[in-house]
Amino acid sequence: MPHDDTLDLRADALTFGLDALDDPTLLALLLGQARGGPAPEVTARELLDEVGGLSGLARYGPARFVEQSGLGVARALRLGAGLELARRLSDRAPPFGERLDSPERAVEFLTGKLGALLHEEMWVLSLDASNRLRGARRVGQGGLHALSISPADVLRAALWDGAASFILAHNHPSGRLEASREDVETTVRLGVVSLQLGVPMVDHLIITSRGHLSLAALGLVDRASEDPAPRRSKRRGRPHATTATRRGEAPD
């Protein structure tokens, strides 16, 4: 009968503790051994090399693991479930009370949640009167290039957290560090409605692997108080939204 290397991994985990195991060994313990396949640690090391380490795993879903990494459906789903549990734990345990009084601090908080994704997500960071974090909620998810969200979805999250104000943020998986026409329109429209409700939006951040863009720094959030009834632009081109902070650079 072939030896199951997973039994050795389990023994090590029980003897030394999970925190004593390195990344490939932990991943191997999660994957287990396929019938007739190589040792789980071999599979784990090959997988980590293929995706670029632990951070690379966060970019893939179960279907991608099956397609590109050759994992069976059961092991791919097991790995995907483990990653999703880790994401949920991170999402539901934000550092409440942390002061987010600058775009850079908000981006630092969000980069771990958004920076490695291959799809768009929209988040609301609810703040108290001293700009301290009261809640962080994902309010929308889309594809590589698009995400549809209503003002009600955003404001519901801020009101639920009892926010005095909030920051809106989403990522551009493509790495494009500029605001689209839809980004600008969403910012102005949400700014108007949030002011009317007394829970103002203080910034709308776009986060990419190259850096971040603050729409407040572009003056688009301030436009809400000047334009109570924003009209949809007929121009199909992108707006001039170029005041961005790239990785390793200071904002203008």
How far apart, in whole angstroms, are the C-alpha atoms of residue 214 and residue 184? 11
pLDDT band at 143 (very low <50, low <70, confident <90, very high): low
Better pLDDT: 37 or 152: 152
* Longest pairwise C-alpha distance within the chain: 76
Token pair recorded at residue 19:
């925190």
Q: Tell me: the pLDDT tens digits for 174-227?
A: 888 899 999 999 999 999 999 999 999 999 999 988 889 999 999 988 765 565
Question: Buried b vs exposed e over 111-126: b needs ≥16 C-beta within 10 Å?
Answer: bebbbbbeebbbbbbb
- Strand-pair category, 165-171 with 201-208: parallel
Q: Tell me: the pLDDT tens digits for 79-95?
A: 888 888 887 776 665 56
pTM for the predicted model, two decimal places: 0.58
Domains and CATH numbers, the chain: 5-90 (no CATH), 95-246 (3.40.140.10)
Cβ atoms of residues 28 and 75 within 8 Å: no
